Structure 1
Amino acid sequence: MNKCHLNTELSSLEGTRSEFNRSKAVIKLGIDVHQDFYVVVEQMEGTNPKPAQRFQKQVFLHWAAKLSKSGSKVHAVYEACGFGFGLQRQLTALGIRCHVVCPQKLDERNKRVKTDGLDAKALCLKLDRFVQGNREALALVRVPTEAEEQKRAIHRQREQLVKARKGLEAQGRSLLVNHGMEPASNWWKGRTFAQLQVPEWMKELLQNSQPILLALEEKIRALTAQLQAAAISKQPRGLGLLSSVVIDREIGSWTRFKNRRQVGSYTGLCPGEYSSGNTRVQSCVTKHGNPRLRAALVETAWRLVRFQPNYKPVLKWRKILAKGALATGAARKKAIVAVARQLAVDLWRIRTGRVATETLGLIN
């Protein structure tokens, strides 16, 4: 009886010690996110990761809340994806330090085996190295505020509407060309549509798209006016109110960049490189970063070539970018990318108060 009593006490002591250790442990969660469920791998301290678990969304949040309330310091990580940053905000509200990272190849050993569990495990192991102090283990993504996301949604919706309008307009022109008609520009607008000399059956088909195109045009104009009204009123000539507000909202906060290299890297307009030994090879731009920002910068750079002839990067590349210059298309692309990259850096310097526009050769 005494021996049995002793075993019971030891078992109780071990259970208490286990609970105490768990309450003080650092727990890492690697999460593979899906629309209807999450696949999660948990690691406690420096132990081996546990087998992957599959949770429904609400069940996972309830389980994560229990981990956080147990006194453990919980870290989590998942890849940026089309499901946004809602999960990060939910976990942060539970007291969990949640990181969002760039999508990446997680098969480091090149096994050519990919499962949700292996992806979650790879993220968990990277997070473990990050928590231990290796800040290069994770390529972190800045999580925008909800207000920043709401502002971005306006110009992104405008972009989608413009794309839809172009698609419907192209379908109408294609119908005309396929039947030997001249493709009228803006065929769907009132006066042009009324003057179309086409068979009745073709006009009926075009009439199906015309009201949609007119409605899209109205919405696009309204959103454009809304965005231009929100832009900074005093802009360098050629920058444009619409381009300015798109660039600023895609960046979110210019102050998050510590130096010009970070700005250039975020735009994805920096050249790629493959160097070894005494050989150095620079390739095309990395396109690593925000594609909408990249497009807006290149579009703005072309306007600056026309409206800002004294802008330093424009002066540097004038022989290639000037109208009528004897340069190949590839050379012009390289030059305009260089101007766009420098423009991003200069906008960062202007927005953070490091320099005045006049110093850069920009006129208002």
Structure 2
Amino acid sequence: METAFGREAEAATDVGQAIYVSVELSQSTWLVTSFAPATDTKMSRKGLPVGEVGQLLSLIANLRSKVHSKTGLWFPVIIIQEAGLDGFWIHRVLVDEGLESHVVDATSIAVPRKARRAKTDRIDGEILIRALMAFKRGEPRTCAMVRVPSHDEEDRRRLLRERKALVVERLAHANRIEGLLFAQGISDYRPLNRDRRSRLEDLRTGDGRSLPPFLKAQISRELDRLELVIEQIKAIEAERDELLACQRKEVNSAVSMLENVRGIGPEFASLLWTEGFYRHFDNRRQIAAYAGLAPTPWQSGSVDRDQGVSKAGNPRLRTTMIQVAWLWLRHQPESALSGWFRQRAASSGSAQRKKIVVALARKLLVALWKYVTAGIVIDGARLKNA
């Protein structure tokens, strides 16, 4: 197959017949570290200006040419970079050019555990190269490669993420207004009510005076920002409902199946799909680890204790599942999972109940994953159309 980097590379018989490249990304420079085991004994490094992907491709082409001049073979180029602020656009450019590219979760790479660990871009680039070579050798638990979402999958997540940010902003404006009024002895004003403008005109301070003019003007401007956020939330929810309507037309679509479960509305159904269930998982441990709900044991000799959940996965999916778990106890009291919770929490305090809810969230996540992928209805769960 012909690519931008010449003819298709000859099949490598071992890991040594390849060129390994790591790209350490930052906001000032890109540090490119390369290593070809067949011809080199040391790793080479070169700095590039930020965003100059054309220079990166030229550098990779020069590396292949140099190795070809020494060996007479066109070795494949394997590239690795850390997941970070740059997103996945560099990875997609490299893949479009016919290169093998990987995006790694930086927290999954083993590093020295010294009290003061040296860290530079040069050291990080070498660590990425070694992790990539170990990964290609098939060594288990070397590192965790990120599953890069498609353009559509990545774009669909923006609606719900933007809505969540706007909800936080809406709450901040409302709390700020209530705080300003509470300092004047007014505690019964609700900025989120529809009569917020008319009530503002009739407010009186705790000592019977009307609102000071500058305070009233400040609150009015806060209401302007609050109403803008409310309108944007409504617009996003309309787009979300339109997207869900299109997905409901598909027979047995995952979003429709989730929305059919009592206690799960359109917001949670679409969020569970876009943040988790659109991916492929081989088993329940993988999906629990992706959500950061997998337990973290600490075992050494006679010491055996649990450190709680890892919190190393998708934070949006994790917080959503904990919210769904609380709602599950209210809307699905006859399910087996609710019975399991009541049995465990019967003799526990409030602090212990919160830990049990996290365990329930993990069990519920696995059960919903089986329901979406294999159609296995949760034991005792009630469906809306049943």
The bucket for the TM-score relative to the shorter chain is 0.7 to 0.9
Q: Does 1:200 align with 2:213?
A: yes
Q: Deviations over 1:255-284 (max 9, x none)?
A: x11111111111111222111123310122
Q: Does 1:26 align with 2:18?
A: yes
After superposing the two structures, state which structure 1 stretch, 181-190 or 237-246, moved more.
181-190
SS in structure 2 of the partner of residue 282 of structure 1 = strand
Which of 129, 132, 141 aligns to 1:136? It is: 141
Compute the RMSD of aligned alpha carbons. Answer: 2.6
Match of 2:35 in 1: 43
Matched pairs, number: 338
Residues 88 and 99, structure 1, Cα contact 8 Å, conserved in 2: yes
Q: How does 1:12-91 map to 2 (within 5 A)?
A: 25-45=17-37, 47-56=40-49, 57-58=51-52, 59-67=55-63, 71-91=74-94
Residues 277 and 369, structure 2, Cα contact 8 Å, conserved in 1: no
Q: Does 1:343 align with 2:364?
A: yes
Identity of aligned residues (%): 28
Deviation at 1:151, TM superposition (A): 0.1
Residues 21 and 78, structure 2, Cα contact 8 Å, conserved in 1: yes
For 1:64 and 1:156, how far apart are their aligned partners in 2? 36
Instruction: Structure 2: give runs of 5+ residues left out of the alignment.
Output: 1-9, 11-15, 69-73, 205-210, 245-254
The residue type paired with residue 102 of structure 1 is D
Q: 1:339 to 1:54 in 2, by over 3 A?
A: same
TM-score by length of 2: 0.80
Match of 1:17 in 2: none
For 2:84 and 2:42, how far apart are their aligned partners in 1? 24
For 1:332 and 1:54, how far apart are their aligned partners in 2? 53
Deviation at 1:152, TM superposition (A): 0.4
For 1:309 and 1:134, how far apart are their aligned partners in 2? 45
Match of 1:272 in 2: 296
SS in structure 2 of the partner of residue 273 of structure 1 = strand
For 1:61 and 1:209, how far apart are their aligned partners in 2? 50
After superposing the two structures, state which structure 1 stretch, 40-49 or 308-317, moved more.
40-49
For 2:174 and 2:120, how far apart are their aligned partners in 1? 43
Match of 2:341 in 1: 317
The residue type paired with residue 29 of structure 1 is V
Q: Deviations over 1:24-64 (max 9, x none)?
A: 94111122111343111101026444233211232223323
The residue type paired with residue 189 of structure 2 is A
Match of 1:13 in 2: none
SS in structure 2 of the partner of residue 52 of structure 1 = strand
Q: Does 1:305 align with 2:298?
A: no
For 2:362 and 2:192, how far apart are their aligned partners in 1? 38
Match of 2:237 in 1: 224
Residues 110 and 142, structure 2, Cα contact 8 Å, conserved in 1: no
Residues 178 and 191, structure 2, Cα contact 8 Å, conserved in 1: no
TM-score by length of 1: 0.85
Residues 33 and 125, structure 2, Cα contact 8 Å, conserved in 1: yes
Q: 1:167 to 1:49 in 2, by over 3 A?
A: farther
Q: How does 1:123-202 map to 2 (within 5 A)?
A: 123-182=128-187, 184-186=189-191, 189-197=196-204, 198-202=211-215
Q: 1:220 to 1:114 in 2, by over 3 A?
A: same
Residues 31 and 41, structure 1, Cα contact 8 Å, conserved in 2: yes
For 1:183 and 1:45, how far apart are their aligned partners in 2? 72
For 2:94 and 2:41, how far apart are their aligned partners in 1? 23
Deviation at 1:107, TM superposition (A): 3.9
Q: 1:83 to 1:28 in 2, by over 3 A?
A: same
For 1:344 and 1:38, how far apart are their aligned partners in 2? 39
After superposing the two structures, state which structure 1 stretch, 51-60 or 282-291, moved more.
51-60
Deviation at 1:238, TM superposition (A): 0.4
Q: Does 1:240 align with 2:275?
A: no
For 1:184 and 1:134, how far apart are their aligned partners in 2? 62
